[in-house]
């Protein structure tokens, strides 16, 4: 499934079940992607760029279970430059003085979903933890895999349950008491 096909499933669910949600941001431009590349010194994997060309982040909508919001081009630049300050000297993603290989693409509070720009693999990073978390499950092999998973969960029959590889179960709902009419991933 392509990034656009996955986004179409997500957009249909939001339009049908979460009409009160803030509209998803429009696309970024190719020029903005080129400027991001120039500023951070590394190109994003093709599927990450394709997602940004469809939606420049997810705004206030939690797209990825357990509640991650996708970054815009501007957020990626800001968060990437911020994470460089916290890198460890023995970090495997630091090649000499080059700490640019892992780029944040989504966040949940201070936790970041990151992409390895060499492989496209998705992992986790938290400034309060040491190092990165990488899961070998195919779900996390790329952003397109993650978006396909989310699109398929939302295209299925209710309840919309996301069983993540680490055993975490998250349910998509539009009936959250704090955010009615929006896409919310719960863990209850």
Q: What is the CATH number of the domain that holds 91?
A: 3.40.1580.10
Residue 110: domain span: 3-156
Is residue 170 classed as helix, strand or coil in its secondary structure? strand
Element (H, E) at 81: helix 73-83
Q: In this predicted model, which residue has the larger pLDDT, 181 or 153?
A: 153
Is 70 exceeded by the pLDDT of residue 92? no
CA distance 39 to 81: 9
180: in domain: no
Whole-number pLDDT of residue 90: 46
- Indicate the angle between helix axes 46-54 and 3-17, nearest 10 degrees: 40
54: in domain: yes
123: in domain: yes
171: in domain: no
Contact 159, 171 (CB under 8 A): yes
What is the b/e burial string over 19-58, where b = at least 16 CB atoms within 10 angstroms of the residue's CB?
Answer: eebeebbeebeeebbeebeeebeeebbebbbbbbbbbbbb
CA distance 129 to 136: 19
Is 70 exceeded by the pLDDT of residue 130? no
For the stretch 131-144, pLDDT in tens is 678 888 999 999 99
124: in domain: yes
76: in domain: yes
Q: In this predicted model, which residue has the larger pLDDT, 143 or 125?
A: 143
Q: What are phi and psi of 48, to 5 degrees?
A: -70, -45
Whole-number pLDDT of residue 84: 53
178: in domain: no
19: in domain: yes
Whole-number pLDDT of residue 82: 60
CA distance 170 to 185: 6
Mean pLDDT along residues 117-127 = 89
- The total number of structural domains in the chain stands at 1
Q: What length does the chain have?
A: 188
For the stretch 16-74, pLDDT in tens is 999 888 999 999 999 999 999 999 989 999 999 999 999 999 999 999 999 999 999 99
């Amino acid at each position: 499934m392509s990034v656009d096909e996955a986004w179409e499933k997500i957009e249909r669910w939001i339009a049908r079940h979460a009409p009160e949600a803030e509209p998803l941001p429009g696309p970024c431009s190719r020029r903005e992607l080129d400027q991001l590349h120039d500023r951070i010194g590394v190109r994003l994997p093709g599927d990450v760029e394709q997602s940004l060309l469809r939606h420049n982040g997810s705004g206030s909508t939690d797209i990825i279970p357990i509640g991650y919001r996708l970054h815009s081009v501007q957020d990626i630049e800001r968060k990437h430059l911020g994470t460089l300050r916290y890198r460890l000297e023995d970090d495997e993603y630091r090649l000499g003085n080059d700490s640019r290989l892992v780029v944040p693409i989504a966040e949940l509070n201070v936790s970041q979903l990151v992409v390895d720009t060499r492989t496209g693999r998705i992992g986790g990073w938290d400034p309060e933890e040491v190092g990165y978390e990488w899961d070998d499950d195919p779900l996390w092999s790329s952003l397109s895999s993650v978006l396909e998973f989310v699109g398929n969960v939302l295209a299925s029959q209710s309840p919309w349950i996301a069983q993540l590889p680490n055993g975490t179960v998250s349910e998509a709902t539009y009936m959250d008491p704090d955010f009615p009419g929006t896409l919310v991933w719960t863990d209850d």
